[in-house]
Structure 1
């Protein structure tokens, strides 16, 4: 169910220190009351006070082919979960608990819902670590990170980094209906550029299976097949070449093809013999 939360009505300039103080005070009040409705109300205020944190985490994963609203909802739900389960008596600041919780929920959502074409799990997890790292690196260094930067700072192996960099399109691959020319809508689409079924592959496979079978044929049978299908002679011309009638050539071809079909257990593409 979508989470509809109205931002807290505090000054937009309120900094992290003010938010931390407000959050700590709210949790103190939660611990001091036994009224369930009051605890729920105060927990809602914790969520409102830290809403900007959840939204900021969601923004780091935008522009990945997924809905910004979906990301925001996932992050906010994770914030609610963190606020309800946080225990101040364990001596931790709320955000030190909430931020990993929110980030983990967003990453899990990406892992389960964000991929159109699903790569291996290790690549998914590496890619999700690399995305926020790349944004921070670009801000600090004024350029995109190279593979070596990911390997060094994230302690990933080079092969995984290479695969992860290559799977960006798995989030949202181009539609086959997208025009090849982005400036015009009337031109050919990506789908139009895809080749259809190529019978050459089928013929190649058939020839590969036929080679050992043809090698076992009688010399005259092999000659008839070569003349008829490889050199393209007519049955009459084949008969003249080997000294038999056209009818005999027809019978030889029918017998040999029938034999090959039985041994292969499949129909023979005629073109497969033209080699």
Structure 2
């Protein structure tokens, strides 16, 4: 490790404070050296004026020297299956900075012991806020963790999965809140529609390539017909008796225009004109906005 005093390096270099060593690359300092140097830098940081070049040099050097703590803590979350390691390290660095700004040498606590909980807490917060597939309130996110722990503890003693009532009694909360937490927990992960689906039928097994998208329901064309009928009903009520009779004969009894003409004593062409007029009236009523 190569260090220079502030006097020899020049006080103007990155604002190195009087009495602190000038460190060319603080990120390459070994962890055991960083622990000793951190005490010196924290001691000077207490008396330096915030915002000055000297203060920034001391603070930035402390951050760089202790990045190994962030990498160590981030390694515990390597297999969480969500989030790039670079993102996790960046989030952990925020925790390190918070620890540096709040650390007090007079507590006689090692900085490593003080900083790691801050770093881990920031990373856990990152996972809690970003890994939910569906946004749910923070209260329910935390309840999910409590429910998971309660289920594990109760299942060990009961030799079965606990009921909602047993979970509620164990956690001291209402059953409704437990049920809400269980439902919200379903938003923690989401599966792809292209995942294989176990349909349980012979066709599905024979195909061997059916996905959830293949077995999900599709839009029901009949639903549109139902909506149209509900819209059409009051419009039919506005027709006179003759118009309703023509509509009934043509679409209810499925009579031809010639047969309708015979029933009414009019020509087929007249029936056609009447039908066009009636249908135009109904069509106009269906598409007229309120």
Taking the aligned partners of 1:92 and 1:241, their CA distance within structure 2 comes to 106
Residue 178 of structure 1: how far off its partner (Å): 1.9
Aligned residue number for residue 142 of structure 2: 129
Query: Do the aligned partners of residues 62 and 109 (structure 1) sit closer, same or farther apart at CA in structure 2, a change above 3 Å counting?
Result: closer
Map 1:1-275 → 2, pairs under 5 A: 28-33=39-44, 43-44=63-64, 46=66, 48=68, 58=77, 62=80, 66-67=82-83, 69=85, 72-73=88-89, 76-88=92-104, 99=117, 102-103=120-121, 106-108=124-126, 110-111=128-129, 113-116=130-133, 118-119=134-135, 123-138=136-151, 140-142=153-155, 147=164, 161-181=178-198, 186-265=208-287
Q: Structure 2: which 5+ residue stretches go unaligned? A: 1-26, 46-53, 200-204
Give 1:232 shift: 2.4
Partners of 1:184 and 1:75 in 2: how far apart? 48
TM-score, length of structure 1 as denominator length: 0.63
Q: Deviations over 1:104-134 (max 9, x none)?
A: 56435643x4344x43xxx331233134334
In structure 2, relative to structure 1, the CA distance for the partners of 1:43 and 1:68 (3 Å cut) is closer
Please list every run of 5 or more consecutive structure 1 residues that lacks an aligned counterpart in the other structure.
11-21, 267-275
Mapped partners of 2:154, 2:175: distance in 1: 21
Per-residue displacement from partner, 1:50-85 (whole Å, max 9, x unpaired)? Answer: 7655655x48x936xx24736743552243223332
Inter-partner Cα distance in structure 1 for 2:100 and 2:247: 80
Report the number of matched residues.
Answer: 240
